[in-house]
């Protein structure tokens, strides 16, 4: 996935002079995950540059550049270091179009390496999506595979809205044979990642892999058919694919790493029970991280939702 | 506790001044000889109109037409002096008290009224005049100015970004990050601190340990300059220099304009709770309009006719503002769904239909 | 309510030397809403003082003071100005007890005048509760009446956890005959504010008044009996009272001002449908602010949930 | 682009130095004569042990025992010089690279190992030694130190709060807010900037326009002082002065200790991608341990026996660390539910029971 995002950035920069990549260590180093590797060498220091260590300033800078007609693609180095920029996102990035009566769209794509599962210390494994998705005026997307990463990034950069682009670090080293450029479904739409008939499982980011693995096991060991929906876009939510699926299966489980309370599962459960009430054979269940701070690395394996926790929930929703 | 000490001190010696409070040219001052008589008349007219309009905004608030208004009374010289030095395509990033800047730029005051009446966030008619929307969260707009300036630098044009902040704003982290980035990137950005000695009820001495905000520039490796903010010519001179520096690619400047908030923080505030009448009286004697008028009258540039015309212009502007505010139609309820994103999601369309039903409107 | 909070602060300061009140304009001015009026005069500048204009710094200061054994009660002047402090809340205030293996509890009560409905400009009418309630490690409470405001504030200050204390500005001028000190239910528990039998309505803050008004109208005009539950504590959620109620009524509506997506209604709907699935006669509905920035003041009346919007939902859940 | 210019320059003239790189006392230096021979031996021993332990941490990471480790190689003088001047009840607020400070305070290195092994956020055994937990979000701990210092001031004790930050951290808004508040409240707080010239791959010249971080103090109305951070005696002297100032109620100080990060940013980093071998070589010649040893040997204070004993102490400490890290038991999965709040909510109890089921444990 790192290569796909890198290619997405490079192609966007090649296509449009106004695309700028900046952040902490994205220049000469090429980013702590090498996502921006080679961009400074290829496009020069004007197009790809390091900033001082100041996240609010980085997003603020992007807002000003967007006002001047640029398409900034700032990186915030890790999920946990996006929080100092929350005020700039909530008070400005999300509201600028509105406050300017449409005259100042924010063409900003904020890339954030996100989520857990890579054995990192505190603050490097956060799931910040709720903070952004609750904020009207920004789009929040998260790709689960390299093709989507490329395609959704290109679409985000080329679009007219501010996008919070959450990259699942745990999938950074996943590979896929890709002929680039690749265009997948529009990034505001969910996709059925695996069709099935018994239970709808909604996931995004790294949890899509977990859901697909669970579907494999469920099929093989229990003859249970899971339909996996990859959400892709976390805000504004498009739940048509989910609702379609639930109307067929009658059962729904949402999986995410974020703590349960007010994680995306809450919103999805609320919408599904409202709009597919009479189709539901069982309550919508949530398979999530716990309502605790993200644990130290040696415990992330037991903390994070995995195949077993998900299959437990599958069993529960299938109970007569 | 001497919380008003700084506001009561005479404006410090290192502070650039052109006109003494009585309007006389300070010996050895850097007088802006490049200004034509028309320039001078334009500036004093703008200050006069600003004061008249400012009073009208306060009236309109008292009459229940506006929810709130932050008066710029006493700060006309700083705002007009600074802004009149800019080109029309230099971008201004205001806080919320910059009526004088808008008057110079020719922004329709009704657009400002729309903001305080609660009709349009950020005001209307600003962007056309290269003014960013009015910003309420203190200091948060400073990084935007830096970004804008960086873009201008990348574009190879000599456009400058100018951001107005208050003495209180200097305490905010965002302002620090902006100052630092502006210096590191050497962008054409000017930070104008209107040091009006108060942040609501908090005096300068409780905001920062230094008495001289311009001295903060050195820590960023940036030019810093302090001027008498009630002396319109001093403001004009330092701004002219800063603009030149910016246009020549010599980087950002921090300007401290030492002035005073003569009114309440906003119409919702009661300053008698926290500051003395004596302090106010002292600053009344440093009134920026009286000072400039004395000077121009003595120089034979400003006549009774000019005074009359400026007063008239102010009256007309005030009347127009009053009419436009009173006549402003209620915004369409469904407009709350406009300009959220470039297109409405399915869920937002559903919500919009709901409000259309509630308000008996057509959602199509 | 302003008087009740003021008395709560004064009594807490009188009882415990370690209680400190600080923030922007809370000293000589007594706060922009006069909530801290007279505290500096009575307790001196050491106990009640103004800070520079820096919200992250204010919360950071409180954290350090708590480490030194104080019980700081900082004020953030308005909801919209709490966002610059989000990182200090999320990364530190909420995590410090955890990161110190319990050795460093955060005895901090952050007061925030909150929510809309008072005709203020942008950023003065935000509903920030989701940002805080999703964050494990802080309590979030919001009183709906003066007695609760006093009692919950005393309990928050005296407790051993960080509390985000959201004061509904719109109810600031509400009055109640009170003999102080008053002790109401524990602040982590919801309360039935009006018993009823047909529909459970869950509300908090200023929306409790709206719900009670709607209940009045429903009773009078339609003979429909609404049970109003005042949530009081928004995190960690205690939904036992809500579930009890829903098991009796079979119908549930949540009301809040915050935008719908990932507002508290999402979590409540998700829990109710999970834990009272077989009791539900209709989907849980949400009556909320819209997924837009808070509108300019002239439009807040149509934007905010009111009695009519709530009664519409009541009609819907009662449809056969 | 000369991005390494500042790290390659000689340490500037205005920088307080006691020992020249060859260990000779700089003419006219303020030598800390108050230090006993035992003090000197203690400091050099701490530096030697720090370096040995630091190397062991890197080894342990290479062997897969730690997820990550940020080496303090080259910064021993700054950390030991600063910390050895403090009293045991002065509170330290570290960033994440302060092993030398922990060694001086007698923190069990295994507790630091627990952090980097992913067993306990923030490390263990720190608070007992008046050290705040290790903090990763850059600069965010600075306001905590100010709050702690304010509390100490209120308590009327002469305890001081000391916060370690990096050159990169100076760009963060939180650090600015902390510096400003410390100055305004005149609290006993000392900000120690270890200017090691790099913030991961970003050189000082891309972090700030000034070459002298101590100069930032003036803008806050705070004492600022710059010392050679590879000169342990210089660090000790400036810290002694700052502590005295703080204890006497004369307010905060910003100390810039000019040093160099000789290793990678962390074990996950590859510095060859962004900096030159030449620069590193230059700083090798300024090694803080060699310098101090030369001085103490010449002064007859440090003998071969001392050297042997220090090496041995280091070896023992390294072995103990290795054993403790290797033997550390996996934490109990259910411990993730501890210390969230003072008591567990019903929902959290339910989640805990779920994990107990999943891991075959007893939830009671
Ligand atoms: C981030 C933020 N915090 C708090 C406020 C509330 N507030 C509005 S104006 C003000 C004082 C601002 O003082 P200053 O920057 O000196 O500007 P002035 O009002 O004097 O023009 C405060 C605290 C705000 N608007 N934004
Ligand atoms: C708020 C925040 N942003 C980004 C990071 C990622 N990061 C970790 S260390 C570092 C550089 C810090 O440099 P400096 O302050 O000079 O300390 P040093 O590592 O040199 O000791 C960065 C950017 C972080 N930890 N916290
Ligand atoms: Mg001010
Ligand atoms: Mg550094």
Question: Would residue A182 count as lying in a domain?
Answer: no
Most informative mutation of A22, A23, A24, A51 for ligand 2 (most atoms within 8 A of CB): A24
C-alpha A289: how far from its chain's center? Answer: 16
Q: Could you tell me which chain D residue has the CA closest to the CA of B224?
A: D219
CA distance D97 to D72: 6
Question: Would residue C178 count as lying in a domain?
Answer: no
Final residue in a domain of this structure, among C137, C171, C205 = C171
C-alpha B105: how far from its chain's center? Answer: 11
Contact B218, D215 (CB under 8 A): yes
Residues A86 and A231 occupy one common structural domain = no
Q: Could you tell me which chain D residue has the CA closest to the CA of A288?
A: D351
Angle separating helix axes C2-15 and C146-158, nearest 10 degrees:
30
Q: C28, C41, C45: best mutation site toward chain B, by most B Cβ within 10 Å? A: C28
**Is D261 labeled as catalytic in the residue annotation?**
yes
CA distance B51 to D258: 53
CA distance B20 to B24: 5
User: How sure is the predictor about B7, in pLDDT bands with cuts at 50, 70 and 90?
Assistant: confident
Q: Which chains reach chain A with 3 or more Cβ–Cβ distances below 8 angstroms?
A: B, C, D
Give chain C's length.
320
Question: Would residue C184 count as lying in a domain?
Answer: no
How far apart, in Å, do the first and last CA atoms of chain B sit? 63
User: Is the previous residue joined to D338 through a cis bond, with omega within 30 degrees of 0?
Assistant: no
Low-confidence ranges of chain A (pLDDT < 50): none
Cα torsion A213, A218, A223, A227: sign: negative
Residues C205 and C269 occupy one common structural domain = yes
What confidence score (pLDDT) does residue B1 get? 34
CA distance B127 to B339: 16
Residues of chain B in contact with residue C296, where contact means CB-CB under 8 angstroms, are: 118-121, 331
Question: Would residue C185 count as lying in a domain?
Answer: no
What confidence score (pLDDT) does residue B13 get? 64
| Range B77-92 average pLDDT | 98
Q: What DSSP letter does each residue of D92-106 carry, written as one string?
A: EE--S--HHHHHHHT
Residues C149 and C262 occupy one common structural domain = no
Q: C292, C300, C306: best mutation site toward chain B, by most B Cβ within 10 Å? A: C292
When CB atoms are compared, the residue of B138, B340, B358 closest to C53 is B138
When CB atoms are compared, the residue of C60, C65, C161 closest to D341 is C161
Does residue C60 belong to the interface with chain B, where contact is any CB pair within 8 Å? no
Q: What DSSP letter does each residue of C38-95 carry, written as one string?
A: THHHHH-TTTEEE--S-HHHHHHHHHHHHHTT-EEEEE-SSGGGSGGGHHIIIIIITT
Query: What is the number of the ligand 1 atom nearest to the C-alpha of C53?
Result: 23
Does residue D183 belong to the interface with chain C, where contact is any CB pair within 8 Å? no
Classify the phi-psi angles of B133: left when phi > 0, otherwise alpha if psi is within -120 to 50, otherwise beta: beta
CA distance D231 to D295: 11
Residues C145 and C65 occupy one common structural domain = yes
Does residue A235 belong to the interface with chain C, where contact is any CB pair within 8 Å? yes
Cα–Cα distance list, B127 to B131, B141, C180 (Å): 5, 15, 53
Residue D52 has pLDDT above 70, yes or no: yes
CA distance C45 to chain B (A): 10
Residues C164 and C260 occupy one common structural domain = no
Residues A115 and A254 occupy one common structural domain = no
CA distance B212 to chain D (A): 9
Q: A59, A64, A96, A241: best mutation site toward chain B, by most B Cβ within 10 Å? A: A64
Residues C36 and C104 occupy one common structural domain = yes
Q: Which chains reach chain D with 3 or more Cβ–Cβ distances below 8 angstroms?
A: A, B, C
What confidence score (pLDDT) does residue D51 get? 98
Cα–Cα distance list, B233 to B10, B82, B88, B291, C24 (Å): 18, 9, 19, 10, 34
Closest of A67, A29, A19, A80 to residue A51, by C-alpha = A29
CATH number at residue C28: 3.40.50.970
Among B31, B144, B247, B274, the active-site one is: B274
Residue D1 has pLDDT above 50, yes or no: no
Does residue A67 belong to the interface with chain B, where contact is any CB pair within 8 Å? yes
Domain assignment of residue A164, given as a range: 2-171
Among D117, D265, D291, D306, the active-site one is: D265
Q: Is A162 exposed, middle or buried (0-12, 13-18, 19+ CB in 10 A)?
A: buried
Residues of chain B in contact with residue A161, where contact means CB-CB under 8 angstroms, are: 341-342
Closest of B166, B147, D177, B97 to residue A88, by C-alpha = B147
Taking only residues 199 to 218 of chain D, the set having a beta carbon closer than 8 angstroms to any beta carbon of chain A reads 199-202, 206-208
Q: Look at C84 and B336 and tell me if their CB atoms are within 8 Å.
A: no
Closest of D178, B259, D131 to residue C52, by C-alpha = D178
Per-residue pLDDT reduced to its tens digit, B96-107: 999 999 999 999
C-alpha C33: how far from its chain's center? Answer: 17
Residue D317 has pLDDT above 60, yes or no: yes
* Ligand 4 centre distance from Cα of residue B332 (Å): 54
Does residue A22 belong to the interface with chain D, where contact is any CB pair within 8 Å? no
Contact C155, C187 (CB under 8 A): yes
For ligand 2, atom 25: residue with the closest CA: D137
Residues A207 and A129 occupy one common structural domain = no
Q: What DSSP letter does each residue of B328-348 carry, written as one string?
A: PPPPPGGGGGTTSSSS--HHH
What confidence score (pLDDT) does residue D364 get? 78
CA distance C318 to chain D (A): 30
Task: For strands B198-199 and B202-203, give the pairing.
Answer: antiparallel
User: How sure is the predictor about D6, in pLDDT bands with cuts at 50, 70 and 90?
Assistant: low
Residue B115 has pLDDT above 60, yes or no: yes
Least distant ligand from the CA of B197: 3
Closest of B235, B214, B234, B233 to residue B223, by C-alpha = B214
Residues A130 and A202 occupy one common structural domain = no
Final residue in a domain of this structure, among C171, C200, C223 = C171
CATH number at residue C213: 3.40.50.920
**Is D176 labeled as catalytic in the residue annotation?**
no
The neighbour count for residue C176, using CB atoms within 10 Å, is 14
Closest of A292, A128, A124 to residue D136, by C-alpha = A124
Query: What is the number of the ligand 2 atom nearest to the C-alpha of A84?
Result: 1
* Ligand 4 centre distance from Cα of residue D177 (Å): 20
Query: Which residues are CB-neighbours of A173 under 8 A, at least 6 positions away?
Result: A1, A2
Contact A74, A107 (CB under 8 A): no
CA distance C57 to D338: 28
Q: Look at A56 and B177 and tell me if their CB atoms are within 8 Å.
A: yes
What confidence score (pLDDT) does residue B2 get? 37
Residues A25 and A133 occupy one common structural domain = yes
Contact A302, A116 (CB under 8 A): no
* Ligand 4 centre distance from Cα of residue D198 (Å): 4
- Coil/strand/helix, residue B108: coil
Does residue A190 belong to the interface with chain C, where contact is any CB pair within 8 Å? no
Contact B81, B236 (CB under 8 A): yes
Residues of chain C in contact with residue D122, where contact means CB-CB under 8 angstroms, are: 99-100
Query: What is the number of the ligand 2 atom nearest to the C-alpha of D166?
Result: 15
Residues of chain D in contact with residue B217, where contact means CB-CB under 8 angstroms, are: 219
**Is B274 labeled as catalytic in the residue annotation?**
yes
Q: Could you tell me which chain D residue has the CA closest to the CA of C97?
A: D339
Residue D5 has pLDDT above 60, yes or no: no
Q: Is D228 exposed, middle or buried (0-12, 13-18, 19+ CB in 10 A)?
A: buried
Most informative mutation of D199, D205, D259 for ligand 2 (most atoms within 8 A of CB): D199
Residue A21 pairs with which residues in a beta bridge?
A48, A73
H helices of A71-143, in order, are 86-87, 96-99, 129-133
Final residue in a domain of this structure, among C136, C171, C206 = C171
CA distance B142 to chain D (A): 13
Question: How many domains would you assign to chain C?
Answer: 2
Does residue D16 belong to the interface with chain B, where contact is any CB pair within 8 Å? no
Residues of chain A in contact with residue C269, where contact means CB-CB under 8 angstroms, are: 266, 269-270, 273-274
Question: Would residue A181 count as lying in a domain?
Answer: no
Does residue D219 belong to the interface with chain B, where contact is any CB pair within 8 Å? yes
- What are the mean pLDDT values of chain C's consecutive 10-residue runs (320 residues total)? 98 98 98 98 98 98 98 98 98 98 98 97 97 98 98 98 98 92 96 98 98 98 96 97 97 98 98 97 98 97 97 94
Contact B354, B143 (CB under 8 A): no
Residues of chain D in contact with residue B186, where contact means CB-CB under 8 angstroms, are: 209
CA distance C64 to D174: 14
When CB atoms are compared, the residue of D118, D139, D202 closest to A24 is D202
Contact C157, C20 (CB under 8 A): no
Residues C161 and C277 occupy one common structural domain = no
Most informative mutation of A26, A53, A75 for ligand 2 (most atoms within 8 A of CB): A53
What confidence score (pLDDT) does residue B3 get? 39
Quick one: how many helices (H) and strands (E) in chain C? 12, 12
Residues A80 and A137 occupy one common structural domain = yes
């Amino acid at each position: 996935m790192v290569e796909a995002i890198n290619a997405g950035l490079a192609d966007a920069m090649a296509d449009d002079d106004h695309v700028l990549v900046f952040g902490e260590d994205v220049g000469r180093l090429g980013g702590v995950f090498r996502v921006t590797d080679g961009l400074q060498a290829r496009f020069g220091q004007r197009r790809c540059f390091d900033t001082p260590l100041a996240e609010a300033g980085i997003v603020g800078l992007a807002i000003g550049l967007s006002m001047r007609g640029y398409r900034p693609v700032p990186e915030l180095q890790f999920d946990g270091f996006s929080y100092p920029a929350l005020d700039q996102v909530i008070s400005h990035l999300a509201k600028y179009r509105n406050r300017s009566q449409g005259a100042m769209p924010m063409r900003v794509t904020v890339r954030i390496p996100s989520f857990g599962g890579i054995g990192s210390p505190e603050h490097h494994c956060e799931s910040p999506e709720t903070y952004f998705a609750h904020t009207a005026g920004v789009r929040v997307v998260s790709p689960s595979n390299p093709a989507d990463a490329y395609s959704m990034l290109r679409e985000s950069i080329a679009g007219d809205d501010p996008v919070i682009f959450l990259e699942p670090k745990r999938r950074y080293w996943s590979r896929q044979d890709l002929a680039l450029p690749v265009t997948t479904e529009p990034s505001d739409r969910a996709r059925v990642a695996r069709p099935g008939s018994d239970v709808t499982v909604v996931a995004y980011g790294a949890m899509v892999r977990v859901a697909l693995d669970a579907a494999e096991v469920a099929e093989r060991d229990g003859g249970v058919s899971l339909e996996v929906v990859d959400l892709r876009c976390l805000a504004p939510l498009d739940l048509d694919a989910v609702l379609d699926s639930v109307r067929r299966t009658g059962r729904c489980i949402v999986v995410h790493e974020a703590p349960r309370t007010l994680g995306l599962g809450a919103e999805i459960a609320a919408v599904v029970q409202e709009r597919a009430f009479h189709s539901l054979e069982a309550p919508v269940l949530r398979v999530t991280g716990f309502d605790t701070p993200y644990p130290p690395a040696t415990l992330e394996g037991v903390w994070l939702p995995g195949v077993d926790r998900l299959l437990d929930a599958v069993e529960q929703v299938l109970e007569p | 506790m001497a919380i008003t000490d700084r506001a009561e001190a005479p404006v410090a010696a290192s502070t650039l001044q052109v006109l003494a409070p009585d309007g006389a040219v300070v010996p050895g001052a850097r007088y802006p000889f490049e200004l034509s008589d028309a320039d001078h008349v334009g500036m004093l007219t703008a200050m006069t109109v600003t004061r008249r309009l400012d009073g009208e905004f306060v009236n309109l608030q008292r009459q229940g037409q506006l929810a709130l208004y932050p008066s710029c009374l006493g700060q006309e010289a700083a705002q007009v002096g600074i802004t009149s030095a800019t080109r029309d395509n230099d971008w201004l990033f205001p806080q919320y008290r910059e009526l004088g800047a808008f008057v110079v730029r020719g922004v329709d005051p009704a657009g400002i009224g729309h903001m305080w009446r609660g009709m349009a966030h950020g005001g209307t008619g600003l962007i056309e005049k290269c003014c960013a929307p009015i910003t309420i969260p203190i200091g948060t707009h400073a990084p935007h100015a830096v970004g804008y300036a960086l873009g201008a630098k990348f574009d190879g044009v000599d456009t400058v970004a100018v951001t107005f902040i208050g003495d209180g704003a200097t305490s905010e982290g965002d302002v620090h990050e902006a100052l630092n980035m502006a210096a590191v990137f050497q962008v054409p950005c000017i930070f104008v601190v209107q040091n009006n000695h108060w942040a609501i009820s908090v005096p300068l001495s409780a905001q920062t340990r230094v008495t001289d905000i311009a001295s903060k520039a050195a820590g960023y490796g940036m030019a810093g300059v302090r001027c008498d903010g009630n002396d319109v010519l001093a403001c004009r001179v330092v701004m002219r220099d800063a603009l030149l520096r910016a246009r020549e690619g010599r980087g950002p400047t921090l300007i401290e304009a030492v002035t005073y908030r003569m009114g309440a923080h906003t119409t919702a505030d009661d300053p008698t709770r926290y500051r003395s009448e004596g302090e106010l009286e002292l600053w009344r004697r440093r009134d920026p309009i009286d000072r400039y008028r004395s000077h121009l009258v003595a120089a034979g540039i400003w006549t009774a006719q000019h005074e009359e015309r400026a007063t008239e212009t102010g009256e007309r502007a005030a009347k127009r503002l009053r009419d436009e505010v009173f006549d402003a139609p209620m915004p369409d309820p469904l407009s709350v769904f406009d300009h959220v994103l470039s297109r409405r999601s399915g869920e937002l369309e559903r919500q919009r239909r709901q409000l259309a039903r509630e308000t008996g409107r057509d959602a199509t």
